[in-house]
Structure 1
């Protein structure tokens, strides 16, 4: 009898110990301060980027719903063709902003907030006068030549040339907005840019519907209407950004009354961090343009399928991008405070959470590809082609998410050289070469092109992960 009671007591103790361990594990999961910091900083970025991509997908769907099938396919292809060269400008601006984010995060971590205003002004002026104005002017003057170089056919040029011109005007304001957003993220403020960008994206969708189809008393402008709505939304965003950073209670002070002073150290830091990032972005965009030309040679309908797949791929980028941006800010601030261990913990935690989200998206793409693509178009050929690409995109997800987040952590540390190496080898050494072999030589069509994307992402992940594991990024110096 005593043995039975003792056994029951032991069982009760084991049960209590198990419940206690479970409770502590759950508390650690929820109350982990590193995880809480990551989620607090990353969720507004993730919501902003996801909804921004969804709004972009809706824009593409609106063009796909144009009644004239030939015009619809040409409009979708025109957006894809014209967006590629404009993305070069955006990626160069973003690369310059990487340097600004890294510096601002370091100064905030080192308790030197007085240096932030100077960095922000340098980044804004460089973005506008060195990048935005020259690139927009080039795009406006050589619109048709650029589209023809990209492999656009006559129907695509006819549909998209005016769209391209309007988008390039909007780029002037977009590059300015990106500078402010990058600075806000550097100090850890992610909710304000989320609210502003969601507001203007919502206005953009309404404007697209009105101007594409000619609702109310407006004329039906088709793809040109989409460009006008997008450009106007960037102007509104610029006004809202300026209003926010000039408020008395703004966490990021932009003092327009304070005279701008050239700072040699700021420029040196921006060159040290920003030049490799700019070269990486330039290599990526040039490589993607070469890749796009290979796909465009398959014809307008296949290219429209490819563009829809790219639009959906852009959505799948967002968890990696969001947690990569969060990693940049938190790693930069931790290194500024000389806390190397915390910087590593932030990087690992952002990678873990971002990868879980990306895996969920991969499952959706793999099993529900046709249903997702059918939101864009009713053309069965386009649905079949794009659905096949989505299955490959699903396999890409784990490598893509991991390398995007860890590359963000490296950039936050100011270590931008190895992401450059990874991108250069992955894009030029594998994506372009393999796509040419599989599409042109072996005749695998769109499937061959997307297999090349998979190999590119795998190669980039190998390089970035290897650099992160070396721990050398922890000792990059920013003055």
Structure 2
């Protein structure tokens, strides 16, 4: 059984990888900011759609890691190879559907989410290119999941680092030297992901899919696990979008401050998400060996390790909030709103890590449905409805919304912990 030090060493690359994946879209937005505000708006809107695709791939990758870790622990070589072929085939099929959707319906999608005139044209082009080649992101995620299931979290991290550096180089060259504009930003992203995908493919050993992977039957367990895991991710995404619509009702300055606060605190959640990736793998390995006591010990360790790391970052952000907010704005209401987000993000630390830890634990033992149901109830019944009641009817505004966010995480943490304890007690 791994020590706490070994767990941190195992998880750290996954934490960095989460951060690096987030930077790709931000890099494109930063680069096109030197073109025009329309370009910034177009890339930002298109990346909202790409983020949904990414959420689906993350769900698929999590389930691939869970199943792979179990098959490896069972030392079933044939099943490992079959799962590798099936996972790649599934990734390709899902990616093709997303790609076709992006190319054929990119314009109406961009229009629905608010793009108009020049922004609509630019967003359509960016979405058609990056979304049309989304298979590269899918393969990066799946190949990385194979490696993580083997205990190799460093290689996927380096691949994400490579993709970021190459994206900056290629995009900047195409934008500033060849004047390709938004098209240059999209092409830079595509080429960077292509190279990173090839790099990860070359690093695969026994997980290498065969040349005839498309003949492999789709693994039913993988599909049955991926669907609710994807639903859980999409519930989070849709719920967040609806909450944003609620925040907008409090005024543009409050909305801007909330956005600033969330931009600052997104770094706070990196340890929880990275540690959750490791929790899935460790729990899956022990579950295959029916080591229930080891599972419980791993859950306790990953929970406290992620809580401590998140708390340290949260305290730093809270203490530095005045300086950090000044990087974005000096407007009083926006600054106060950002302070609210930073404070409640800190207060929710132990609940957020609890939610992510037990969601990962259930996914590790092959139960993705319960986290999906719990997330859906929490997001819509507590975060959205209670947030609306507190924020609008009790006139608590943004504070009311964030009270509901904290209570949502508390509910999911307690519920999942009780259910997991009951399950492992049997």
Please classify the TM superposition score into its range, dividing by the shorter chain length: 0.7 to 0.9
CA–CA distance in structure 2, aligned partners of residues 47 and 94 of structure 1: 15
- CA, structure 1 residues 259+55, in 2 after alignment: closer, same or farther (shift >3 Å)? closer
Q: Does 1:339 align with 2:280?
A: no
Paired position in structure 1 for 2:273: 321
Does 2:48 correspond to 1:84?
Answer: yes
Which runs of 5 or more structure 1 residues have no equivalent in the other structure? Answer: 1-31
Query: Please, which of 145, 149, 152 is the counterpart of residue 108 of structure 2?
Result: 145
Separation of aligned partners in 2, 1:383 and 1:209: 32
Aligned pair partner of 2:210 in 249, 256, 275: 256
1:127 corresponds to 2:91: yes
**2:242 aligned with 1:290, yes or no?**
yes
Q: 1:147 to 1:373 in 2, by over 3 A?
A: farther
Go from structure 1 to structure 2 and tell me whether the alpha carbon gap of 1:66 and 1:260 turns closer, same or farther (over 3 Å shift).
closer
2:201 to 234, 242, 249: 242
Q: In structure 1, how many angstroms separate the alpha carbons of the residues matched to 2:139 and 2:421?
A: 35
Contact 1:325 1:408 in 2 (8 A): yes
Deviation of the 1:157 alpha carbon = 4.3
Q: Which residue of 1 aligns with 2:139?
A: 176
C-alpha offsets along residues 264-297 of structure 1, whole Å, 9 cap, x if unaligned? Answer: xx62322342232122223222323333344456
Q: 2:161 aligns with which of 185, 189, 198?
A: 198
1:452-471 aligned within 5 A: 452-470=404-422
**CA deviations over 1:120-169 (Å, ceiling 9, x no partner):** 2211211221x222223223333343344335677864664433333312
Paired with 1:474 and 1:87, the residues of 2 have a C-alpha distance of: 38
Equivalent position of 1:279 in the other structure: 231
The CA distance in 2 between the partners of 1:368 and 1:79, in whole Å, is 30
Q: Tell me the distance in 1 between the aligned counterparts of 2:172 and 2:251.
A: 28
**Do the aligned partners of 1:162 and 1:224 also contact (CA within 8 Å) in 2?**
yes
- 1:47 paired with 2:20, answer no
Change (3 A) 1:177 1:451: same
* Structure showing greater Rg: 1
Aligned to 2:385: 433
TM-score (norm 1): 0.77
- Note the alpha carbon deviations across 1:16-38, whole angstroms, 9 max, x for none: xxxxxxxxxxxxxxxx9432431
Return closer, same or farther for 1:258/1:171 CA change in 2, 3 Å cut-off.
closer
Judged with a 3 Å threshold, the aligned counterparts in structure 2 of structure 1 residues 187 and 359 are, in CA distance, closer, same or farther, namely same
* Partners of 1:329 and 1:412 within 8 A in 2: yes
Structure 2 residues without counterparts, runs of 5 or longer: none
The Cα shift of 1:346 comes to 1.5
State the 1:338 CA deviation. 2.5
Would the alpha carbon gap of residues 257 and 158 (structure 1) be closer, same or farther in structure 2, given more than 3 Å must change?
A: closer
For 1:153 and 1:449, the matched residues in 2 are separated by 30
Deviates more, 1:404-413 or 1:87-96: 87-96
Alpha carbons of structure 1 residues 188 and 431: separation in structure 2 relative to 1, 3 Å: same
Counterpart-to-counterpart distance in 1, 2:314 and 2:248:
26
What's 1:99 paired with?
63
In structure 2, relative to structure 1, the CA distance for the partners of 1:58 and 1:142 (3 Å cut) is: closer
Question: Which residue is 1:219 aligned to?
Answer: 179
Match of 1:312 in 2: 264
SS at match of 1:142: helix
**Which of these residues, 341, 347, 366, is aligned with residue 414 of structure 1?**
366
Residues of 2 paired with 1:235 and 1:324: CA distance? 27
1-structure distance, mates of 2:398, 2:179: 36
Q: 1:137 to 1:162 in 2, by over 3 A?
A: same
Alpha carbons 1:435, 1:449 under 8 Å: kept: yes
The answer on whether the counterparts of 1:84 and 1:285 sit within 8 Å (CA) in structure 2 is: no
Deviations 1:86-113 (A, max 9, x none): 3332222322333322211111111223
> Using a 3 Å threshold, how does the CA distance of structure 1 residues 267 and 253 change in structure 2: closer, same or farther?
closer
Higher mean displacement: 228-237 or 296-305: 296-305
**Structure 1 residues 67 and 125: CA distance shift in structure 2, 3 A:** closer
Question: 1:45 offset after TM fit, Å?
Answer: 1.1
With normalisation by structure 2, the TM-score equals 0.86
Cα distance change on mapping 1:184 and 1:361 into 2, 3 Å:
same
How many residues get paired?
425
